Amino acid sequence: MAALVVMYDVGSRDEKPGATGIAHLTEHLMFTGSRHVPDYDDALQAAGGVSNAWTSCDETVFYCVLPAVNIETAFWLESDRMLFLNLDAESIDTQRSVVIEEFKQQALNVPYGDVEHLLLPLAYSVHPYRWPTLGLDVSELEHVDHSTIRDFHRDHYDFSRAIVCVSGNVTLERAVTLAERWFGDIKPRRYCPRLLPSEPIQQEPRVMTVTRDVPSAAIYRAYHMPARADIDFYAADILSDVLANGQSSRFFKQILSSGGVFTELDASVSGTLDPGLFHIRGRICDGVSLDKANSLIDQEIEQLAEDGPSEYEVDKYINKALSHSMFENVDYMTKAIKLCQVEHCFGNANMINTEEERYRSVTANAVREAARSILNSANCSTLLYLTNHR
């Protein structure tokens, strides 16, 4: 078996206000057929393959897995849709309906579905991370015109913005030959520089309170944190693990295990190319006040910022992060995706082999400093999600 991954350096951060959600829409359009391939999925399945894709704020990833003997079919398919994608009005309108329905299912018709639509604009004031990948409002997808969508594809789905990786039972020589055959003569169409506004430093707490028909109240916090390639990202990543990764984490031992306040309490980092967000989120038990729930979170943060974690805690979570990464790399498809992501983030795919050194350099003091610099009230945007459920 083999995998072919094509990652485009385009995501929702490349959209403009009033036309959000079209990066995700364009991802869907990549499956509508091209000049020599009327149906991408039919052609791939005939070669024994499967495929999928996703869009994030920073990137759009297409991957396919098929028998290695048929790997050239995947190169042909990706090359043809890179050059000759079908963007007629019928295809655009069909896929527009699909992504609008997806928006409704994920953001409008499920409990807590609008959290990102509320929290991101609260945390970001100018950077395009302030809207979700699905789009800020479904009406923008409904009204964006065909020419805007075609222009977005032309500007961003260009060979100069693509990273291609093949992995699995394919020799280096064959991979290079196929890459040169199917991608070597593709010329960049035009260069559109990315000029994104820098998010100003947050100087004071931001709080929003909403009431929804949901099973329980919840607290969502977002703190600004370093970008994925920043050396300080690694201490922030380990900080999130110390707080909430597993049954030996601070949140579990000090709050969840005692019961009665939270049914869920978690922490995570966004890992975005531009400075991102450190998230803390919790679902609150019935009858518990928001003040009590917030104070318990604050107590754990304050203690960690004051005393720091132990070296044992830090070593444990570094080992856990690295072992998880190593097990992921056993799978050839995941490895190909990660190689593209590392190349995209650092400009050097070999960082997949050396990033361990960055994690190993994290100390207990670095985690304590991360807690102090990131998890402070002036840097926090809080969404209090109340329930009218009785």
In a 13 Å sphere around the CA of 21, the CA atoms on its Cβ side amount to 26
Residue 260 and residue 337 share a domain: yes
Residue 221 and residue 174 share a domain: no
Candidates 22, 56, 113; CA nearest to 274 is 56
Residue 306 and residue 165 share a domain: no
**Within a domain: residue 38?**
yes
Instruction: Evaluate whether 373 touches 245 at the Cβ level (below 8 Å).
Output: no
Banded pLDDT at 188 (limits 50, 70, 90): confident
Residue 48 and residue 107 share a domain: yes
**Within a domain: residue 276?**
yes
pTM of the predicted structure, to 2 decimals: 0.94
Instruction: Evaluate whether 301 touches 132 at the Cβ level (below 8 Å).
Output: no
Residue 248 and residue 146 share a domain: no
Structural domain including 265 reads: 206-387
| DSSP type of residue 137 | -
Residue 137 and residue 51 share a domain: yes
For the chain, the first-to-last Cα distance in angstroms comes to: 53
pLDDT digits (tens, 9 = 90+) for 109-139: 999 999 999 999 999 999 999 999 999 999 9
| Domain count within the chain | 2
Residue 231 and residue 98 share a domain: no
Q: How many helices (H) and strands (E) does the chain have?
A: 15, 9
3-class secondary-structure state, position 217:
coil
> What share of the chain in percent tops pLDDT 70?
99
For residue 220, the cross-strand partners are: 281, 383
| Cα-trace Rg, the chain | 23
**Within a domain: residue 198?**
no
- The CATH number that applies at residue 25 is 3.30.830.10
Residue 383 and residue 286 share a domain: yes
Residue 327 and residue 284 share a domain: yes
Residue 335 and residue 243 share a domain: yes
> What φ, ψ does residue 274 adopt, rounded to 5°?
-95, 165
Residue 153 and residue 299 share a domain: no
Q: Which of 183, 217, 242 is the last residue of a domain?
A: 183
Mean pLDDT value across residues 253-264 = 92
Residue 18 and residue 124 share a domain: yes
pLDDT digits (tens, 9 = 90+) for 218-239: 999 999 999 999 999 999 999 9
Q: How far apart are CA 339 and CA 356, in angstroms?
A: 15
Q: How far apart are CA 209 and CA 284, in angstroms?
A: 15
Residue pointed to by tokens 């080992």: 319
**Within a domain: residue 189?**
no
**Within a domain: residue 237?**
yes
In the numeric block, which tokens belong to residue 266?
Answer: 């978690």
**Within a domain: residue 201?**
no
